[in-house]
Amino acid sequence: MRLLFVLFCLFGLITATVAQDDDDTPSPVPLVDEYGDDIINILLLGSDTFNPQNSGRTDVLLIVSVNRTANTVALLSLPRDLYVYIPGWHTYRINSAYGYGEQIQAGRGPDLLIETIRYNLGLEIDHYARVDFVGFKQLVDAVGGVEISVDCAIQDWRLLAPDLAPSAEENWTMFTLPVGVHHMNGDLALWYVRSRRTSSDFDRGRRQQDMLRALWWRVSDLGLAQQVPEIWGQLAEITDTDLTVEDMIGMLPIALQLDNTRLSAFRLEQNRHTRSSYTEKGESVQVPIHDEIAALLQDMMIPPTANQLISEFADVEIINATGIQDMGRVAADRLAWEGFNTSLATEIPPPQRYTTIYDYTGQRKGSRLDALQSVLRVSDEGVIRDPQADRAVDYRIVLGSSYYACTYNVMPPESDAD
């Protein structure tokens, strides 16, 4: 009798726990208003595996939102540790939804991840494309590598050679990538988008957006965009996607017009869009703050007008007076994410200590000066106002040696002395 009583109590406890879990299942969030049917949301996935047969975890989750009316593209990175409800399962990291779907049924992974995003973020995903480590490196190497402006030095462990066994400790070395412009092959590019030893998952999402932009510029420079029908078969071999060649051809007109004024980046910010927490097992996760995320997504979906595209994107010329090669390019690529049309002056001035901004607009209300000062960390004393009606550019920046490119939450690399 005593044993039966214990079993009865255990059964009651289990059923009570299940009932409580069911009651705690969150309701789906409202869908984001996409302002018409002309927006296509494409989910790009990067899996942490070298084996095509292994679904792995989708540690890269990047949404490309194509607005066919405004001919604009917006990017949104999702942190892999976003703690969400996975429909039919339970609340866990978003990067596990794909693998769980594949466990249920082969080919179910994309559907479950898309359903998870809709349930927790209210965003409809129209298509997906997934690549693993091997495919990503092949993609970068196929275009001859990419150039990336690194504005925050990062440091992490890296294999001495790509073909060495990762299981052997002696095959690893501590590698530092300094600030500057770097040409990356597939191996270095993969290291760059995966590293988070001196940064975070949020910063990794930023670097993944940088990589996607660099890849696109490289494809554009090579004229490969117009060759989609010819090279589609090669792309399909290294990519798992539901996009068809007809889908890609349909988006070509937008792709061919794409420049910095039509490309914008959106990112979730820790302590604003998410809050840090721990699971019952002590795992670190990011809990979404739904109201803030909904506001961000709504901003992302609002199509800009033609007048906004003209007025918001100012022309900026950068003169590199830092005495450091390529620092002007680093600043230019950073400002491009803020919507500035940037160009580099060919003149090589004598080095100067502090950065100076020449404002030729004569405007204060509605100007982009505040954004320039914030990114470049220039005080009002560093601004020279010189209104010119017939100006060639809106702002001229003379970049000084005190310019500190890293404006993100990234720890400096350890020195050898440490």
Residue 231: both structure tokens together:
């090279």
**Is CATH 3.40.630.190 the classification given to domain 39-306?**
yes
39-306 and 313-399: identical CATH topology: no
Tell me the pLDDT tens digit for each residue of 394-416: 999 999 999 999 988 777 787 65
Tell me the pLDDT tens digit for each residue of 341-398: 899 998 888 999 999 999 999 887 768 899 999 999 999 999 999 999 999 999 999 9
Tell me the pLDDT tens digit for each residue of 272-296: 999 999 998 899 999 999 999 999 9
Residue boundaries of the structural domains of the chain? 39-306, 313-399
**Is CATH 3.30.70.2390 the classification given to domain 313-399?**
yes
pTM of the shown model: 0.86
